[in-house]
Structure 1
Amino acid sequence: MKEITYQVEGRNVLRNDARCKLRAPVADLIAMVFNENFLKERMLEFHIDAEKITGTGNLMRRIERAYEALDRIRDAATQAKTDERLARLERSTIAFYELIPHHERAPLDTEELIDKKIEQLGELIELAEIEQMMDKHGSKEPRHILDQLYDHIKCDIVPLQREEDDFKMIERYILESGNSQYGDFRCYDVAAAFSLRRGGEDAAFRKDLPNRTLLWHGSNVVNYCGIFTQGLRIAPKEAAYITGQAYGRGLYFSDNFNVSMGYCRVKADEEPLILLCEVALGKSRNFHTGGGYHSDSGKSSWNSTFVGFGDKHTIEDPASFVPHPDGYGVPLSPHVDRTSTTEKPLRQNFYVVPKTDQARLRFIIRLRLKPGANVPSTRH
């Protein structure tokens, strides 16, 4: 019987048909998401010493305290230069590096450097979650480790066949997306597509809200452990300074495949994952200009924090969404360029909802670079 080797928690894991009950595409997906070595490689890129902070049993608490230290660093870095301020900055920086050991200790004295560390802590959370999960599912368990992990995430993941309507819809949705400032990612083929249901999401989802729409959400592969186990999460307030939360805290989506792919931070040797989510937009605030908006939806009658309609590469007719049998609309009409008549126009459409119960996972797509193609360079 043929054995297939996976790597989970930094060790090789053997799977054969007698020991793993998962279908091969699902097993491949689970092994890809829970590859701790991949996460540790990411930490090395950030100069974080993953070996010193894993296995301590309190990594999540360390990360929480590190966020607090970065808050203090930001306060000190943005104040007028005084001896007291410099002393506080030095103390807080030392505290941060003691909590999160690094191979290199660069000064954290600019907004850009602090934002990068906040973003890196977000990825470190994923490593902590994998560590906690693997602690619960040791090698003494008679079932295969991938079966254990699949049961733990409480998701129903079903491979789609290429002849199925949903698979064809996904491919069309990709092709109909126009270009974006993030590049054209239609250099990728769909390697595999899955329907995806998280336990508890259907019950919590705001089915009562109108304008349920299937939208893209891009995220790096390292984040999918947390997405599977906890769903999409709103970034902590400390991350509000980071690009990508320009219109307040919330869950961000797009009707343009290329826009969401820009947030996957893909490398040439990686196979990215991207989500399609059903989003209950409800009554929305619509804007055509960028900048200067902050969410106040929690204090108003608006369900959707922000819907930004771009003047370029926008869908031609929002009313022409294709209805899906599950009750949501799919924006499959072609994207076209429009001449901007506004100051600081948005370039693409994007959607922000303030509550996690306004979105539920529907599909996850694994992509593969076409032969001879190059990964577009991205900027935010």
Structure 2
Amino acid sequence: MPPKKKASKKATKKQTKQQQKSVSSSPEPEPKKVPKKGNKRAPETEKKNEENPEPEIEKKVKKTTAYSWLLEKDPKLEEFPENADYGSNPVPKFPYQKTQVPIDENLLNRDKFGLYCKKNQPYSAKMQFSSMVANTNSNKFYIVQVLYDLDKPQNFFVLKRWGRTGEPGYQALIGPVTEQKAIEIYDERVYNRTVETNYELIKTQLEDENDKEEQKTQDQKVNTVNKQDSNLDQPVQNLINLIFDMKVQQKAMQAMGYDPKKCPLGKLADESILDGYKVLNKIVIVLKANKPDRRTQLEELSSQFYSKIPHDFGRQKMKDFILDDEEKVNQKLNMLQSLTDMKIATNLNDQISNTTLNQIDANYQKLNCAVKTLPTNSEMYTDICQFIKDGSKNFNANITDIFEIERPGEDERFNKKIGNRMLLWHGSRVSNYVGILSQGLRIAPPEAPVSGYLYGKGIYLADMFDKSAHYCRGGTDDGTILIMLIEGALGQQNVLQGPNSNAQALLNGKHSTFGEGQYGPHSKNYKKLKDGTVLPLGKCQRTASSSYMGHNEYIVYNINQAKIKYLIRCKI
């Protein structure tokens, strides 16, 4: 867009009056909160005087955008060419963007505005600030966007919304102003928050507008196409409905404290999750060092973690959520792994489907994984039921269905040559199974702290149902859980009678770690299956081990040593 001529004093006064109508100047105690639908504006308490539509911008202000980090990754991003597609209306002179983010949902009449983009960068930023340092109780967000009027595209606005994380907060709309002024105000706000007041810019993945339009077209077709009936048997249909249920995902996120309103899972960048792992790694280092200023360091690092991974704590005090022991760190490690799996589920849910397929079958196809119901009259079904009964003391499990699982390529890469193959339990929340079935079992990334895991970073298996079922709870109203039986190629085992986060380094040529516990099945009751795999049947009993750990654990450090064999749906 060509630069605008400098406005006259008369025009400036007129513009000032318009601006004063858009932005309230009430004192801080009086602003009204934005209702959930977001249809009212409220003043923002800031040092800058926002009544002036063209405030002086300091020369020192660093010019930045919400997605400057994207440019650092891909510096080859270029301006749109002169022959870019500007759409049917040539007036706005904004070519259709390949990338887009939504206008803030709390803005009234949001469909009358467009989000300003330049160099493939949407002028939209979400920032988070959490702090518990020196008894502060900050957990707040700040959103800023540059918008333009679709009817009068020469009119630009800067939308701001801020407040306590988990609440609608307050809202202000500055404008109309010129394109250049809107960019200046936006840059100032982003710089002021991220540089001067240490807000964390939440990195998000950008939507592809072409995919968005294609999805819209597909959705329209879906309503006119006679879909086929599902080709899956009823138990598999029920399973697919369960794991793709977004309500289950929402409940799981709420249970973990994650705030999807600030950053929906499908938009959360992988880089943000890795940043979360890095902060947890630093926390573990501080915990081990045990220096005099440890408390202050933990407060600062905990604040960093909650700034990178937004949490909804309501009005509770932030100091109650300091990550000051390894158990709390482990909870957040599990949370980040769950967010990774749920992010996969969200993305697959949004994936375009074959319009002639039943939705259940379409979701099944997205898993790229064979799921078959195990006949109730089969010997394997009976053995699994017995395995559950033997290992259940704390949970009374009622089996609904048992499924055979076959992931493409998993059998070929499975390292059965090392021997000592056992069928063992592995538990996870229902919300994680789209990610697990579509991607397979995974090991924590390098960014995760090794010492955050009892026996290092690996795939953890158990011979007692109770041990793994503990990790399955949450997300369903009726107590339904999903738990897997994994064929583990254990090979030669290094036996440990207590946790050691460096267990992998202690293997010395062996293939896995056996964390010996006080209780487990006796080997005399083990059953050798037809394919040579051992099923460790037998009632839980006191072992001869002097270990202080409760139950046995089996840890493999290579995904080629673990293969998903069965999935059990039950209620506990």
Which band: TM-score by shorter chain?
0.7 to 0.9
For residues 62 and 157 of structure 1, do their structure 2 counterparts lie closer, same or farther at Cα, with a shift above 3 Å needed? same
Between the aligned partners of 1:73 and 1:332, the Cα distance in structure 2 is 40
Q: Which residue pairs with 1:281 in the alignment?
A: 490
Query: How many correspondences in the alignment?
Result: 340
Alignment check: 8 A CA contact 1:196 1:361 kept = yes
Out of 341, 344, 347, the position equivalent to 1:126 is 341
Shift of 1:345: 4.1
Q: Which residue pairs with 2:378 in the alignment?
A: 164
Structure 1 residues without counterparts, runs of 5 or longer: 1-12, 370-380
Shift of 1:123: 1.9
Aligned residue runs from structure 1 range 146-295, under 5 A: 146-177=360-391, 179=393, 183=394, 185=395, 187-236=396-445, 238=448, 240-242=450-452, 245-266=453-474, 269-287=478-496, 289-292=497-500, 294-295=502-503
Matched, 1:102 2:102: no
Matched, 1:49 2:255: no
Shift of 1:57: 3.2
Q: Which residue pairs with 1:9 in the alignment?
A: none
For residues 292 and 207 of structure 1, do their structure 2 counterparts lie closer, same or farther at Cα, with a shift above 3 Å needed? closer
Q: TM-score, normalised by structure 2?
A: 0.54
Shift of 1:149: 2.1
Q: Which residue pairs with 2:356 in the alignment?
A: 142
Alignment check: 8 A CA contact 2:262 2:310 kept = yes
Structure 2 residues without counterparts, runs of 5 or longer: 1-221
Q: TM-score, normalised by structure 1?
A: 0.78
Shift of 1:106: 2.3
Between the aligned partners of 1:115 and 1:239, the Cα distance in structure 2 is 10
For residues 313 and 330 of structure 1, do their structure 2 counterparts lie closer, same or farther at Cα, with a shift above 3 Å needed? closer
Between the aligned partners of 1:67 and 1:296, the Cα distance in structure 2 is 20
Shift of 1:357: 0.6
Shift of 1:18: 3.6
Matched, 1:20 2:230: yes
Q: Which residue pairs with 1:315 in the alignment?
A: 522
% identical aligned pairs? 28
* 3-state DSSP of counterpart to 1:52: coil
Between the aligned partners of 2:304 and 2:518, the Cα distance in structure 1 is 46
Between the aligned partners of 1:345 and 1:218, the Cα distance in structure 2 is 22
Between the aligned partners of 2:285 and 2:554, the Cα distance in structure 1 is 31
Shift of 1:141: 3.2
Question: Amino acid of the residue matched to residue 251 of structure 1?
Answer: I
Shift of 1:358: 0.7
Out of 237, 241, 244, the position equivalent to 1:34 is 244
Deviates more, 1:140-149 or 1:18-27: 140-149
From the CA coordinates, give the structure whose radius of gyration is larger.
Answer: 2
Q: Which residue pairs with 1:303 in the alignment?
A: 511
For residues 74 and 308 of structure 1, do their structure 2 counterparts lie closer, same or farther at Cα, with a shift above 3 Å needed? closer
Alignment check: 8 A CA contact 1:219 1:274 kept = yes
* 3-state DSSP of counterpart to 1:360: strand
Between the aligned partners of 2:359 and 2:518, the Cα distance in structure 1 is 49
Between the aligned partners of 1:169 and 1:156, the Cα distance in structure 2 is 22
Deviates more, 1:195-204 or 1:227-236: 227-236
* 3-state DSSP of counterpart to 1:162: coil
Shift of 1:296: 3.4
Larger RCO: Structure 1 or Structure 2 (Cα < 8 Å, ≥ 6 residues apart)?
1
Between the aligned partners of 2:473 and 2:357, the Cα distance in structure 1 is 34
Alignment check: 8 A CA contact 1:297 1:303 kept = no
Question: Amino acid of the residue matched to residue 532 of structure 2?
Answer: G
